[in-house]
Amino acid sequence: MLKARIIPTLLRKELGLVKGKNFKDLRRVTDVMPLIKIYNARDVDEIILLDIENTIKSKPINMNFISGIAKELNVPFCYGGGITNFIDAKNILYSGADKIVLNSALYDNLNIINEISNYTGAQSIVISIDVKKIDKKYYCFSHCGSKNRNINLFDFLQNLSSQKFGEIILCSIDKEGTMDGYDLNLIKEVSSHINVPIIASGGAGSYEDMFKALEFGASAVAAGTIFHFTELTPSGAKRYLHKKGINIRDGFKFEY
């Protein structure tokens, strides 16, 4: 039985990890490496690291930084931030990331997905979509929520249907960092609309929120604030979800 994944999302800016609310008001959390080491030691299901500075400032991607992180991890590592072409994607995978996240670049050239997936296989590509609700409709935003692309989410999903990729990180900008729950309606509509796994993102404030997101069709739940600023942990989430009947990965038990 496939297990629901609980994924800490780390946002990097300048030299450390940050976290904001509604994609604004960033607070510094910690240095990158100590947290990566802790999550690896705690055997999380997967890690998503998004370098938000690369996207905003169009800075070159630091491959040494990526390989430094990959060196510490024995679990899947998904990297995003500033990827605009096939060469970036290839170098990131060579540096030790397992999956790459595409977001802002998609709005200029959607075909970048197939350009990369023809080479790496579709499973290495994660599509990240940041949406905001305006007049009861969802619109797509790029560049860390700063640019409204004026495209309806479902039109965008329709455009994506010609491209080969593995999964979607679906983030509600309205919910992000608020800790008042995922946008369940959004998760439900998208997961019933599209036949690839959805990673719910934005708004987790309790383990119950994660349970609901999974009930509404998410295959995995990503969370930042809840893990950075409260006493809640990925393993606490798993214990809770397990009690509620969700299949989770219950760390490895040695047999002696």
Separation CA 175–CA 138 (nearest Å) = 13
121 touches another protein by CB under 8 A: yes
Q: In the 8-state DSSP scheme, what is residue 122?
A: G
| Per-residue x/- track, 96-115, another protein (CB under 8 A) | xxx-----------------
**Collapsing DSSP states into helix, strand and coil, what is residue 25?**
strand
Smallest distance from the beta carbon of 147 to another protein, in angstroms?
Answer: 29
Nearer to another protein, 10 or 70 (CB): 70
Q: Which is nearer to another protein, 78 or 173 (CB)?
A: 78
Residue from 2, 64, 231, 245 touching another protein (CB under 8 A): that is 2
HSE value, Cβ hemisphere, 13 Å, CA-based, for 39: 28
Q: Which of 42, 99, 104 is nearest to 70 (CA)?
A: 99
Of 172 and 219, CB closest to another protein: 219
Q: Residue 132 belongs to what H/E stretch?
A: strand 125-134
Query: Maximum Cα–Cα distance for the chain, whole Å?
Result: 60
Q: How many residues bind another protein (CB under 8 A)?
A: 42
- For the record, the structure tokens of 92 come out as 């990131």
Rule CB under 8 A: say whether 17 interacts with another protein: no
Instruction: Tell me which residues touch another protein (CB under 8 A).
Output: 1-5, 43, 45, 67, 70-71, 73-76, 93-98, 118-124, 166-167, 195-197, 219-220, 249-256
